[in-house]
Amino acid sequence: MITPLYPDLSQAAGWLPLAFLVVMGLAMLAYVILDGYDLGVGILMRHANDAEKDIMIASIGPFWDANETWLVLGVGILLVAFPTAHGQILGALYFPVAIMLLGLILRGVAFDFRVKAHAQNKPAWNRAFHIGSILAAFSQGFMLGMLVVGFQTSIWSYAFASLIGLCLMAAYCLLGATWLLMKSEGQLQIKAATWARRSLWLAGVGIATISIVTPFASPSIAEKWFSFPNFILLFPIPMITAILFWWIDRILKCLPAQLVQANQRWIWTPFASTVGIFFLAFHGLAYSLFPYLIIDKITIWQAASAPESLMIIFVGACIVLPVIIAYTVMAYRIFWGKATLLEY
């Protein structure tokens, strides 16, 4: 008997996995955007002097722990709601996951120790924070690349995943630099505009490469994108993405001269536009993969836990998720504005 691809959504066994997929997807999107900018700040630290590094760390200090909460939520939902897929995905990504965790641990240790360290030891902790940021960002991009190719183990799959790792690092640098445009002042702010422009087009290469490769990964994905009228209805996604890239480039060209004159107008637009690009890229990838967690192998309903278990978890999620959102909003509201030096 062939299991239908889309079950009865009026039953708990149908809508509960879908609800958890939405929550997991939004959690991962929130993580990529929120932790993405502070990973980007960490990668960019090697280009700054000592005083600028202190401001860069201060710009992410009140937020970075909370940002990583979204990763815990997303992976936690994958574990408890989709255990079959969790086992296969984490099994296929064991090494990059280990590298990511190593990078995140290194960042966490370096973040606190650099504040207390003696002056001669502080550069070492700055380097540790920088290296941890690179490891975490590259491994996340590598995992994304492997997801797109269905966890194939060919040399071309690894090469593609490595390219996406580099491109995601650039995308995080773009987020981090545009974040610094809003949170810093003076020479650091001018440098941030330059860093953002250097990162912009490599990030674009990553999005374009995934957009080209994904339809070739599965005939069903190609059918979803290029059949009529889907092609017409979906065309605004790449079109708006291209416009946002053009707009960011245009703004970044003008910002250094504008900032020299102490004109802070429009400094928020590069970050907002970059967030828009991430949102559109996520939307396109989610559309391509749905309803599969592993392309053409495991759907969300095949991977889901029993409906009775999901219902209990669903009640807990309805309590926890609003708390996480409220705390995140409160933190950003309290610490909004230009960064000041952290004191412990």
Cα–chain-centroid distance for residue 185? 26
d(CA 122, CA 297): 49
Largest Cα–Cα separation, the chain: 71
Mean pLDDT of 307-336: 90
Residue 72's Cβ-side half-sphere holds a number of Cα atoms within 13 Å equal to: 10
Respond yes or no on whether the N-terminal peptide bond of residue 229 is cis (omega within 30° of 0).
Answer: yes
Of 19-28, 97-106, 331-340, which gets the smallest average pLDDT? 331-340
Of 21-30, 53-62, 176-185, which gets the smallest average pLDDT? 53-62
DSSP string across 28-95? HHHHHHHHHHHHHHHHHGGGS-HHHHHHHHHHHTTTHHHHHHHHHHHHHHHHHH-HHHHHHHHHHTHH
Residue 156's Cβ-side half-sphere holds a number of Cα atoms within 13 Å equal to: 5
Q: How confident is the model at residue 4 (pLDDT cuts 50, 70, 90)?
A: low
d(CA 191, CA 178): 11
Enclosing H/E stretch for 8: none
pLDDT of residue 82: 94
- Closest of 193, 174, 129 to residue 274, by C-alpha: 174
**To which residue do tokens 């990059």 refer?**
96
Task: State phi, psi for 305 to the nearest 5 degrees.
Answer: -70, 175
| Higher-confidence position of 344 and 178 | 178
3-state DSSP of 80-96 = HHCHHHHHHHHHHCHHH
pLDDT of residue 65: 79
| Higher-confidence position of 338 and 38 | 38
Kindly tell me if the per-residue pLDDT of 193 is higher than 80: yes
pLDDT of residue 15: 93
Q: How confident is the model at residue 188 (pLDDT cuts 50, 70, 90)?
A: very high
Of 59-63, 171-175, 323-327, which gets the smallest average pLDDT? 59-63
Enclosing H/E stretch for 294: strand 292-294
pLDDT of residue 342: 63
d(CA 187, CA 210): 35
Q: How confident is the model at residue 343 (pLDDT cuts 50, 70, 90)?
A: low
- In angstroms, what CA-CA distances link 50 with 60, 124, 187? 16, 12, 13
- Closest of 40, 19, 34, 62 to residue 339, by C-alpha: 62
d(CA 217, CA 234): 19
Kindly tell me if the per-residue pLDDT of 1 is higher than 50: no
Q: How confident is the model at residue 99 (pLDDT cuts 50, 70, 90)?
A: very high
Enclosing H/E stretch for 150: none
Kindly tell me if the per-residue pLDDT of 32 is higher than 90: yes
User: In the predicted model, what is the mean pLDDT of the chain?
Assistant: 90
Of 55-69, 79-93, 276-290, 308-322, which gets the smallest average pLDDT? 55-69
pLDDT of residue 45: 92
Task: State phi, psi for 2 to the nearest 5 degrees.
Answer: -85, 125
| Higher-confidence position of 117 and 292 | 292
SS3 298: strand
Q: How confident is the model at residue 2 (pLDDT cuts 50, 70, 90)?
A: very low
pLDDT of residue 139: 97
Instruction: Report the predicted TM-score, pTM, of the whole model to 2 decimal places.
Output: 0.93
Kindly tell me if the per-residue pLDDT of 3 is higher than 70: no
pLDDT of residue 180: 94
Would you state the structure tokens that stand for residue 20, as one six-digit string? 């958890």
Kindly tell me if the per-residue pLDDT of 94 is higher than 60: yes
Other beta carbons less than 10 A from residue 151's beta carbon: 18
pLDDT of residue 235: 93
| Higher-confidence position of 86 and 138 | 138
